[in-house]
Amino acid sequence: MSKKDKDKKKNAPEKNPNGGVPLALKVVIFVITILLTVSVLYTFVGLEPFLQDAAIVNAEAKIIDMGYKVETFFAKHYDNLYEVGKKLEGAEDEEAVREIVSSYIGVDYFGNLRYFNKSKVYTADGIEIEVASDEDYLPLIEASKSQTKSCTQIFRDKTYNEICVAFYIPVKGSQVIDGIGSIIRRSEVADLSNIIENEYSFIAVMESTSGKVMTSTYKTNDFSLGTNFFQAMESKVADASKYGKLYQAITSKSVSNTEVVFKEGPYVVSSFVLAISDNTYTLVGVAPRSLLVTQEYSFIVEMLVISIIAIFFLMICIFLILKMNKARQAQTELVLTHYVEIGCPNGKKFFDEAEKILNSNRTKDYCAIYFEVAQFQFISDKLGGDRTNELLKHIGTLAKNLATNTGYYGYDQQGRFYVLREFGGEKSLRSAVQVFTMLANKTNATEGTDITLSIGTGVCSTVAAGRVQISVLMENAKIAFRTIKKLGDIAFYSANTDKKLKHDADIEARMEKALADGEFVPFFQPKYNYHTDKVHSAEALVRWYNPEKNIYTFPFEFIELFEKNGFIKKLDHNVYIQVCEFIRASLDKGDPVVPISVNVSRVTAIENDFLDFYVRNKKKYAIPNDLLCIEFTESFAIENYDIIENLVEELHKNGIKCSLDDFGSGYSSFNILKNVPMDELKMDILFLKEGVDKKRDEVLARTVVELAKRFNMLVVQEGVETPVQFDYVKSLGVDVIQGYYFAKPISADEFNLFIKSNTSIKIKGGQ
């Protein structure tokens, strides 16, 4: 990036803040996220041993739960058998026994009932079951012989064709039978396979003391039915001493939870003592430690993933909240520093930024530019809020362009704009401002209305005011603006500007009283008709008499100011009245009278009461028709093309003549000549100034004179000072001249004498 580009960037009017989170904050959030993630991971790693323990406890809890279920089932089953046994005590013969036993077929917790008599086993139908060859029943036969309760190991029952377990109880009070038994499917006792789902895990029920396995889920033969659990364990374990603890726990019939190291790896073995029958059984659960922990690990991993997702989610939330906050802050900031509706920095923002620019570019010349849209309130009332904003937005964009990348701009209510711009001399600024004011009117906002914007411009450069603060520069630009006399003009601040303003302020302080005291008096400048060699008429030109200094001040000192502050209307009216009085007095005295023209400012002429005032006073002073003439300037006539025609018409109706003053001084329009029936055309003094091409000037002047005459206008040349000029205008065909060559503006008394003497140029000594 070049230095120039850098400067550009630094000084560029900032774009609307978009509410982004600063990089530093983003980094902080990122680092916190990583730290939190690492700490969560670390915590889980630290917790791992506890989790392993928890896994083992969990496995043990499952085994204990299983134990209770098995125990409950066994107990219930025995209880039911004893209940049946009680009934059988009263059975008198085998017939009755069969009847009672049959009644329990299909009832829960009863299984398939048998009755035992003299070491033989019978079905409920009384059919004897051949047991000699079926050693599964032998424990029960043995039990019936010894009249003790007992149960078998599990076996495949032929009737059910399923793994079953059989129970026996003696029916001691019966004369008919020894006892009863039942066969129950193992699945009804407990579905052991569901406890730990792994082929290396198993659950076995065994005789606590002998270690004989009664039922087992183990897939291999190591712990199959009838095997000795302790022997099988011994063949599997790697560390006999550890196993010893388990052995002790089981044989001492206590609940235990032991880690036993098998040859194939560490296993967790839990035992639960089943207090059923006289023989105490033990339920043993065996599972590889790795399996238990893996199961818990999947839980850990899930937790980890969830936690990390939660952390990221939380951080994203924090990030978004910060972003939203930032955006809200930016919005507030924007409202405080900008006129949001028109997208333009406000005055405060302008002064802040402009000051920074001035401070960081001390070697460059800058200028403060103050713009004011004339009659802004009126325009904004007419356009309404939305279109006014559109208009201001448009001007704001132009102001921004005018400021360029190295300056700044701002809006400060009521159609006032500020611009700070690099100063490249008055000439280039003047043309830039001209483009600005011209483009300001090129907007849709005023389309369909007759609004034409006039934007006044005050400028103060660091060259004129020195290296001062922006507030001082802008204040000076405003001072320059106040010196503007013509709408839409531009004024540059200079050391004289202050003096001029003081002068204006002095005039403004005195004007009202001066008017009341009669200090404003008309002088009269006679106009000469060379055809008749007589005074043709006169123009009333105002003078301000200063009684203290006994001097007259000329209009150029105050007319512009009065036009700006509106006082001109009072002055014009006052001069008109004095002219009326003058004519009236002359008429009353019987003095000769000539038509007298009065000047009327545009400010006076556009007022609603204009016609009324001039017509009413003509009547009031009973001035005969055609003795009064009103001079409208050419620029007024062009700017107010739509009303001038009507004004002239009305004045004519009331016997007042009309003159088009200063013709040729501005953008002369032949249309005016054609369409507005003026009585007189006053050619501006410019026609007498020698231009580059004398011939062409003459052709133009001659054409104007001819044209005006064709439209029946009296042609008057102003400012004729010399005999040469006089001859020249005569040759053009001009009828009447006004100028020092014939007479200067003179006081009312002098003028009176002048007419009475019926002065001719010859008499005056001109020719």
Positions that interact with ligand C2E (CB under 6 A)? 525, 541-542, 554-556, 559, 568, 572, 575, 599-601, 661-662, 685, 718-721, 738-740, 745
- Pairing of β 534-546 and β 596-599: parallel
594 closest CA partner among 555, 629, 566: 629
- Decide which of Ca ion, ligand C2E, none touches 555; Cβ closer than 5 to 8 Å per partner kind: ligand C2E
- What CA–CA distance (Å, rounded) separates 745 from 526? 7
> Which of ligand C2E, Ca ion, none sits in contact with 111, Cβ below 5 to 8 A by type?
none
Tell the smallest beta-carbon distance from residue 755 to Ca ion (Å): 19
Question: Scanning residues 670 to 729, which ones bind Ca ion (CB under 5 A)?
Answer: 718
DSSP H helix total and E strand total for the chain? 26, 28
Residue carrying structure tokens 């066994």: 74
Contacted entry of ligand C2E, Ca ion, none for residue 13, CB cut-off 5 to 8 Å set by kind? none
CB 598 → Ca ion: shortest distance, Å?
Answer: 9
Note whether 62 and 196 are within 8 A (CB): yes
Q: How far is the CB of 611 from ligand C2E (least distance, A)?
A: 17
Report what 514 binds from ligand C2E, Ca ion, none; CB cut-off 5-8 Å by kind.
Answer: none
Residue 542 binds what, of ligand C2E, Ca ion, none (CB under 5 to 8 Å, by partner type)?
ligand C2E
Q: Which is nearer to ligand C2E, 179 or 719 (CB)?
A: 719
Cα 417 to Cα 371, 424, 458: the distances in Å are 5, 20, 11
Residue with tokens 């406000």: 346
Residue with smaller CB distance to ligand C2E, 418 or 754: 754
Residue with tokens 């209940």: 83
What residue 572 binds from ligand C2E, Ca ion, none (CB within 5 to 8 A, per partner kind)? ligand C2E
* Residue 662 found at the interface with Ca ion (CB under 5 A): yes
Instruction: Give min distance, CB of 723 to ligand C2E, in A.
Output: 13
- Looking at the Cβ atoms of 446 and 537, the one nearer to ligand C2E is 537
Q: Which C-beta is closer to ligand C2E: that of 54 or that of 515?
A: 515
In angstroms, the CA 162 to CA 143 distance is 23
Return the ∠ at Cα 68 (arms to 64 and 72), rounded to 5°.
Answer: 170
* Among candidate residues 766, 683, 760, 681, the one with its CA nearest the CA of residue 724: 766
Of residues 178 and 718, the one with the C-beta less far from Ca ion: 718
Q: How far is the CB of 766 from ligand C2E (least distance, A)?
A: 13
CB of residue 483 to ligand C2E, shortest distance in Å: 18
Among 157, 631, 680, 735, binds Ca ion (CB under 5 A): 631
Minimal distance in Å, beta carbon 696 to Ca ion? 23
| Closest to ligand C2E by CB, 391 or 672 | 672
Backbone angles phi, psi at 384, to 5 degrees: 85, 165
Closest CA to 751 of 595, 612, 611, 562: 595
Closest approach of ligand C2E to the CB of residue 565, in Å: 13
Partner from Ca ion, ligand C2E, none binding residue 372, C-beta < 5-8 Å depending on class: none
Q: Which is nearer to Ca ion, 184 or 647 (CB)?
A: 647
Task: Out of 661, 679, 680, 735, point to the residue binding Ca ion (CB under 5 A).
Answer: 661
Instruction: Identify which of residues 296 and 631 has a Cβ nearer to Ca ion in the complex.
Output: 631
By beta-carbon proximity to Ca ion, the closer residue of 60 and 662 is 662
Shortest Cβ distance from residue 683 to ligand C2E (Å)? Answer: 11
Centre a 10 Å sphere on the Cβ of residue 44 and count the other Cβ atoms it contains. Answer: 16
How far is CA 722 from its chain centroid?
Answer: 72
313: partner contacted, choices ligand C2E, Ca ion, none (Cβ within 5-8 A by kind): none
Task: Please say which residue, 465 or 644, places its beta carbon nearer to Ca ion.
Answer: 644
Nearer to ligand C2E by Cβ, of 50 and 556: the residue is 556
Among residues 117 and 665, whose Cβ is nearest to ligand C2E? 665
Q: Binding mask 589-608 vs Ca ion (x if CB under 5 A, - otherwise)?
A: ----------x---------
Least distance CB 704 / ligand C2E (angstroms): 17
- β-bridge mates for residue 259, sequence order: 268
Tokens 């402009």, located at residue: 354
Q: Does 504 bind Ca ion (CB under 5 A)?
A: no
Residue 658 and residue 649: Cα distance in Å, rounded?
A: 9
Q: Which residues pair with 281 in a beta bridge?
A: 207, 274
Interface of this chain with Ca ion, residues 370 to 389, rule: CB under 5 A:
none
Q: How far is the CB of 414 from Ca ion (least distance, A)?
A: 35
In the chain, what's the furthest Cα-to-Cα distance?
185
Q: Which DSSP state fits 228?
A: B
Q: How far is the CB of 653 from ligand C2E (least distance, A)?
A: 23
How does DSSP assign 151-202, residue by residue?
A: E---EEETTTTEEEEEEEEE-TT-SS-SEEEEEEEHHHH--GGGTS-STT-E
- Burial class, 14, CB count within 10 angstroms (exposed 0-12 / middle 13-18 / buried 19+): exposed
Cα–chain-centroid distance for residue 651? 60
Q: How far is CA 592 from the centre of its chain?
A: 79
Q: What is the DSSP string of 477-513?
A: HHHHHHT--STT-EEE--HHHHHHHHHHHHHHHHHHH
DSSP letter, residue 208? T
Smallest distance from ligand C2E to CB 717, Å: 10
3-state helix, strand, coil in the chain (%, to 5): 50, 20, 30
Contacts of 54 (CB under 8 A, 6+ apart): 296
- Kindly tell me which of 382 and 602 has the beta carbon lying closer to Ca ion: 602
What span, in angstroms and rounded, lies between the C-alpha atoms of 409 and 403? 6
Binding site residues, Ca ion, CB under 5 A: 599, 631, 661-662, 718
